[in-house]
Chains A and B, each alone.
Chain A
Amino acid sequence: MTLARVRAEIHTWGTVIFIDASSGKISEPQIQSAIDGVRDFLYEVDEVFSTYKENSQVSRLRRGEIAITDCTPDLQEVWALCAHAKEVTDGSFDPWCVEGGFDPSGYVKGWASDRAITMLKAAGVEHIQINSAGDLSLAGGVEPGKPWSIGIRHPEEAHTIVKVFDITDGAIATSGTYERGAHIKDPHTGMIAIGARSATVYGPDGGIADALATALIVAGKDGAYLFQKPELAGYHCWVIERHSDEAWSI
């Protein structure tokens, strides 16, 4: 069976979001039209959630100009989901413990990618990859019966692949100190996080995977116990140690 396939790059959030979408049911123009809808959504997410835009709702929320109840339903949803993520990570992921106030950036990429998957699926797209600068949400495999093969980059050597995961449906998020330097603070101590050099988490939900990856950078192996929680039963991790070239996984 030939699949209609459209690949697109969307430049927003200060980065590139890559979409790979194909379907055996709908045509290329129909896929393109669905991607256009996703593009509008992602632009809107940037307008609402960017901490770099002075007049975004998140920036106004951070300055105390508006309350969470004044915000869009999407932002209220993310606020609640962040509270949940903080709870399941026992505070290792804490978007409220950020200089300048509530910063959901560590959750939004995964959340928005999942939403994009839902939108494309609703339009009839069956095989979807949303790659938000290295955090991916995936659906339906690359083609019927074949999972997406996703390579994980080396923490220091940006262009070397150290591991490949085959995933049909779900999300995979990698957090590290490489992208923006050491930028993740341990909410418990206020110090720069030192738990791991690179943490990859895969599981059903993009926002949770994103949050857990951040949590493991903070907590390192001390965060391994989180994966025993019943609500995280569907999640796995692959983590590169802080001071050695060793990895551990759950």
Chain B
Amino acid sequence: MGAKRVLLIAGGTIGGLGAVLSITPPQFGTASSGGLGGTLLGGGSTTTTTTPAPATTTTPAPTATTAAPAPAATATKKATTTTPAPAATTAAPAPAKAKPSGTFTGSTSQTRFGPVQVQITLVNGKITAANALQYPNNDFRSQQISQQAIPYLVQETLAANSADIQGVGGASYTSQGWYDSLVSALAKAGM
């Protein structure tokens, strides 16, 4: 998943859900940054910003970018440091190495709650959409999880794409399944 990627705001449903991402985490084995203290999700004082979008985006953004309010329960809890990236990003100059475009389907990942399968759309190597072809829905708990999970999963995929994360710690069964299927889809795309 090599090159640094751009956070894409793919539409209204995603725009308001900001992930809190740190791009300057403490390096492993070095002194900690700040010791005790620092707030989580509280807003200002965290070192949390998403990767700024490089200025390679020339297509004007559709109007519906970050306007959609996040559900109240999440909006108040997250420091929504979403990068106000333009929504369209396909106008980058032709890269030296061909970057894949198209729709790619990940393998089905079995989780404790059922199968998870992800389909992604790539434009010049960037994820522009992610959705679940399969997700657990065979019992009430799974339905609850899935209904909440899918929007977040889409958002996480786009955010992770931006941050170039290679793994998720403390992952739940379904989010790990999502991530695994996503990785498989990216592998199929040759990334």
A-side residues, CB < 8 A to B, are 7, 9, 11, 14-16, 18, 20, 129, 131, 133-136, 142, 147-155, 157-170, 172-176, 178-179, 198, 200, 202, 224, 234, 236, 240-241, 245-250
- What are 18 sample pairs from A and B whose C-beta atoms fall under 8 A apart? A14-B112, A129-B166, A131-B167, A131-B171, A133-B176, A135-B169, A154-B20, A157-B74, A157-B148, A159-B153, A162-B20, A164-B21, A164-B163, A166-B27, A236-B32, A245-B41, A246-B38, A250-B35
A158 to B107, CA, bound (A): 21
A160 to B158, CA, bound (A): 11
**A178 to B: closest C-beta gap in Å:** 7
Q: Are A153 and B25 interface neighbours, CB within 8 A?
A: no
Q: Are A152 and B163 interface neighbours, CB within 8 A?
A: no
Which 6 pairs, one residue from A and one from B, show the smallest C-beta to C-beta distance? A174-B170, A159-B152, A247-B40, A134-B171, A158-B172, A167-B28
**B75 to A: closest C-beta gap in Å:** 12
A160 to B25, CA, bound (A): 17
Q: Are A247 and B26 interface neighbours, CB within 8 A?
A: no
Q: Are A134 and B111 interface neighbours, CB within 8 A?
A: no
A157 to B111, CA, bound (A): 18
A209 to B175, CA, bound (A): 22
**B152 to A: closest C-beta gap in Å:** 3
Within 8 A of A (CB), among B144-191: 145, 148-149, 152-153, 155-156, 159-160, 163-180, 183-184, 187
A18 to B182, CA, bound (A): 12
Interface of chain A, main secondary structure: strand
- Known: A160-B78, A170-B29. Contact between A131 and B173, CB under 8 A? no
Q: Are B175 and A158 interface neighbours, CB within 8 A?
A: yes
A155 to B172, CA, bound (A): 10
Considering the complex, give the chain B residue whose CB is closest to the CB of A9.
B180
Partner of B41, one of A135, A162, A168, A173: A162
Q: Are B176 and A18 interface neighbours, CB within 8 A?
A: yes
Within 8 A of A (CB), among B70-114: 74, 77-78, 107, 109-112
Q: B39 at the A/B interface (Cβ < 8 Å)?
A: yes
Q: Are A169 and B28 interface neighbours, CB within 8 A?
A: yes
A16 to B42, CA, bound (A): 32
A136 to B34, CA, bound (A): 24
**B149 to A: closest C-beta gap in Å:** 6
Partner of A159, one of B29, B33, B178: B178
Q: B58 at the A/B interface (Cβ < 8 Å)?
A: no
Q: Are B169 and A200 interface neighbours, CB within 8 A?
A: yes
Complex contacts, B27 vs chain A, CB 8 Å: 147, 166
**B188 to A: closest C-beta gap in Å:** 11
Q: Are A249 and B167 interface neighbours, CB within 8 A?
A: no
Q: B68 at the A/B interface (Cβ < 8 Å)?
A: no
Partner of A18, one of B112, B170, B179, B187: B179
Partner of B172, one of A9, A135, A170, A178: A178
**B159 to A: closest C-beta gap in Å:** 6
- Known: A161-B159, A162-B41, A248-B36. Contact between A149 and B165, CB under 8 A? yes
